């Protein structure tokens, strides 16, 4: 079995479009990393030449950056590589440290100059730095990783590459996702027996949706707090760093609502199924007398199908997406400023003329997308337009890796929110409750736990299960440091 983490990041474009990078290792020398990084989308950053340069072995880690903290600059591109006393390490990080300011100061006080504003450089230097170093003749990377985890509770999913080993790490709260896939032997794929042992191995990814694309299958999640060592021969749990007594895990609920691709699996369930359950729950919480249910394509379609089925109303398409919008060349006169939404969608007016329409949306952040859509539907003949939102209103900033607009910009914090239906021009508008969302998310997790004995062992290691709903409720899983 050969470790092959290289291909995976290709499918992560939806998780970060600001920059991309790959580091590969020849698996023997700790000096022989190959690095290619750049600003922009993967297709812009990599070409045949740069990929060829990286092909020193099947071992590597990649990253696509989605900016939260840290200015958007080439220097912040991941993975980070530093040379330490024990050779080079490469680090890819997803998340945001809640105590970054204190840690930066600590490192600088020790005499380390920091060359970026990124939390990920911080993590990398903390791994290089960990004392005691004077007698540190053999590197104990696990001890260094555990020290790092003791310094900072959340949030981070990490890949750390050193020579021929990749460490996969998730913070004790499990705030950011990370899962492991197994490459299917080629022989098994075409049903004729193995014929190419070279292509077996392991892959690690934020989302399981990427596995299918490279001929791998879902193996399991990295647990909250777990340090997994992935080598040429096996996948091995080195340790599970616990949370403070009583703290539940805190996987980001926003991944279910919006961020992840619907075919990804978190906590044993497909994201698509959670979204459909949210639609069903919304139909229970906020039914409406109407002729048809539809959606703003494409992310709210599972919820819309769930809502339609629960209500017994037909699911009908009212908008078609214009796949080729691209840059706008239109001079900014008054006419054209009004056309923003119209450029993104075509209207299937024959499908809803004279009808009462329920539109399911997955979230309303600033409120400036849904309003012109409602206007468009009415102008094209809709008799009534009711909005049902398959998630609760966002009210609070995220400090753990999701780039949410400022509190002032969020529609739920603005005066207009008190008369939202009127403000956006809808006949009615209702959000899913926080309880409804949490139950839609946790329903099958709980059911599974009760039924499956095999999970009991794992449960004890995972501890109490919870979800981070900070952006909805303001209740953060850890105390925030400044």
Residue 229 or 275: which CB sits closer to a second copy?
275
- Candidates 283-291, 331-339, 417-425, 430-438; binding stretch for a second copy (CB under 8 A): 331-339
Give me the 130-169 binding string for a second copy, x by CB under 8 A, dash otherwise.
Answer: xx-xx-----------------------------------
| CA 398 – CA 366 distance, rounded (Å) | 16
CB atoms inside a 10 Å sphere around CB 330: 11
Tokens of 8: 């995976």
* Alpha helices (runs of H) in 245-292, residue ranges in sequence order: 253-254, 271-285
Considering only 1, 2, 165, 186, the residue that binds a second copy (CB under 8 A) is 186
- Candidates 93-101, 314-322, 361-369, 455-463; binding stretch for a second copy (CB under 8 A): 314-322
| CA 327 – CA 353 distance, rounded (Å) | 31
Minimum CB distance to a second copy, residue 458 (Å): 21
| 258 DSSP assignment | I
Give me the 12-51 binding string for a second copy, x by CB under 8 A, dash otherwise.
Answer: -xx--------------------x-----xxx--xxx--x
Minimum CB distance to a second copy, residue 297 (Å): 9
| C-alpha pair distances (Å), 199 with each of 4, 38, 58, 93, 182 | 8, 28, 9, 26, 11
- Candidates 111-119, 163-171, 388-396, 426-434; binding stretch for a second copy (CB under 8 A): 111-119
- Candidates 307-315, 362-370, 392-400, 409-417; binding stretch for a second copy (CB under 8 A): 307-315
Q: Per the annotation, does 234 bind a ligand?
A: no
Considering only 192, 233, 244, 329, the residue that binds a second copy (CB under 8 A) is 329
- Between strands 87-95 and 156-162, the pairing is antiparallel
| CA 5 – CA 25 distance, rounded (Å) | 11
Q: Per the annotation, does 398 bind a ligand?
A: yes
176 binds a second copy (CB under 8 A): no
| CA 317 – CA 348 distance, rounded (Å) | 7
Considering only 84, 157, 281, 363, the residue that binds a second copy (CB under 8 A) is 84
Residue 350 or 450: which CB sits closer to a second copy?
350
Residue 33 or 173: which CB sits closer to a second copy?
33
339 binds a second copy (CB under 8 A): yes
69 binds a second copy (CB under 8 A): no
332 binds a second copy (CB under 8 A): no
| 65 DSSP assignment | E
Is the Cβ–Cβ distance between 342 and 375 less than 8 Å?
Answer: no
Minimum CB distance to a second copy, residue 321 (Å): 8
Q: Per the annotation, does 4 bind a ligand?
A: no
Half-sphere exposure of 372 (CA within 13 A, CB side): 14
Q: Give the distance, in angstroms, between the CA of residue 276 and the centroid of all CA atoms in the same chain.
A: 19
* The residue to which tokens 């260094």 are assigned: 144
Residue 28 or 195: which CB sits closer to a second copy?
195
Buried b vs exposed e over 74-87: b needs ≥16 C-beta within 10 Å?
Answer: eebbbbbbeebebe
374 binds a second copy (CB under 8 A): no
199 binds a second copy (CB under 8 A): yes
| C-alpha pair distances (Å), 53 with each of 26, 33, 165 | 12, 11, 21
Is the Cβ–Cβ distance between 159 and 92 less than 8 Å?
Answer: yes
Considering only 29, 150, 197, 213, the residue that binds a second copy (CB under 8 A) is 213
Is the Cβ–Cβ distance between 161 and 90 less than 8 Å?
Answer: yes
Q: Per the annotation, does 252 bind a ligand?
A: yes
* Strand positions, DSSP E, 275-390: 292-295, 319-321, 345-347, 356-361, 384-389
Q: Per the annotation, does 278 bind a ligand?
A: no
438 binds a second copy (CB under 8 A): no
Considering only 1, 2, 316, 421, the residue that binds a second copy (CB under 8 A) is 316
- Between strands 428-431 and 235-240, the pairing is unpaired
What spatial distance separates the first Cα and last Cα of the chain, rounded to whole Å?
A: 45
Give me the 216-255 binding string for a second copy, x by CB under 8 A, dash otherwise.
Answer: ----------------------------------------
Annotated binding site for [4Fe-4S] cluster: 252, 398, 468, 471
Annotated binding site for Mg(2+): 299, 361-362
Annotated binding site: 252, 299, 361-362, 398, 468, 471
């Amino acid at each position: 079995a050969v470790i092959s983490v290289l291909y995976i990041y290709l499918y992560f474009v939806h998780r970060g479009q600001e920059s991309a990078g790959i580091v590969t290792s020849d698996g023997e020398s700790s000096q022989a990393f190959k690095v290619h990084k750049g600003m922009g989308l993967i297709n812009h950053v990599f070409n045949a030449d740069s990929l060829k340069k990286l092909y020193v072995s099947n071992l590597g880690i990649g990253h696509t950056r989605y900016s939260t903290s840290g200015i958007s600059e080439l220097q912040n591109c991941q993975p980070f590589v530093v040379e330490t006393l024990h050779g080079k390490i490469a680090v890819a990080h997803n998340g945001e440290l809640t105590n970054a300011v204190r840690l930066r100061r600590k490192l600088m006080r020790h005499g380390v100059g920091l060359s970026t504003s990124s939390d990920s450089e911080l993590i990398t230097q903390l791994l290089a730095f960990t004392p005691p170093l004077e007698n540190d003749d053999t590197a104990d990377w696990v001890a260094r990783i555990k020290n790092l985890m003791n310094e900072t509770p959340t949030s981070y999913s990490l890949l750390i590459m050193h020579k021929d080993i990749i460490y996969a790490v998730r913070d004790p709260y499990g705030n950011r996702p990370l899962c492991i896939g197994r490459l299917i032997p080629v022989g098994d794929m075409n049903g004729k027996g193995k014929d190419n042992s070279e292509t077996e191995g392991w892959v690690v990814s934020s989302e399981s949706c990427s596995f299918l694309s490279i001929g791998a299958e879902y193996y399991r999640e990295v647990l909250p707090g777990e340090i997994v060592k992935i080598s040429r021969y096996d996948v091995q749990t080195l340790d599970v760093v616990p949370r403070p007594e009583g703290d539940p895990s805190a996987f980001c609920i926003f991944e279910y609502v919006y961020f992840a691709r619907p075919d990804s699996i978190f906590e044993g369930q497909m994201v698509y199924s959670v979204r459909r359950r949210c639609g069903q729950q919304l139909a229970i919480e906020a039914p409406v007398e109407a002729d048809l249910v539809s959606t703003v394509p494409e992310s709210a379609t599972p919820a819309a199908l769930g809502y339609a089925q629960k209500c017994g109303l037909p699911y009908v398409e009212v908008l078609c997406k214009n796949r080729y919008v691209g840059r706008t060349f239109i001079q900014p006169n008054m006419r054209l400023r009004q056309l923003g939404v119209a450029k993104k969608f075509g209207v299937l007016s024959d499908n809803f003329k004279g009808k009462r329409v329920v539109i399911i949306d997955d979230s309303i952040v600033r409120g400036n997308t849904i309003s012109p859509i409602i206007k468009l539907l009415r102008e094209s003949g809709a008799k009534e337009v009711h909005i049902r939102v398959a998630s609760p209103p966002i009210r609070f900033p995220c400090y753990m890796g999701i780039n949410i607009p400022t509190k002032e910009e969020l529609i739920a914090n603005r005066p207009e929110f008190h008369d939202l239906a009127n403000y956006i021009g809808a006949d009615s508008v209702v959000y899913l409750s926080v309880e409804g969302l949490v139950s839609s998310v946790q329903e099958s997790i709980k059911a599974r736990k009760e039924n499956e004995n095999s999970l009991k062992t794992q449960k004890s290691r995972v501890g109490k299960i919870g979800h981070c709903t900070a952006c909805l409720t303001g209740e953060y899983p850890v105390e925030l440091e400044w």
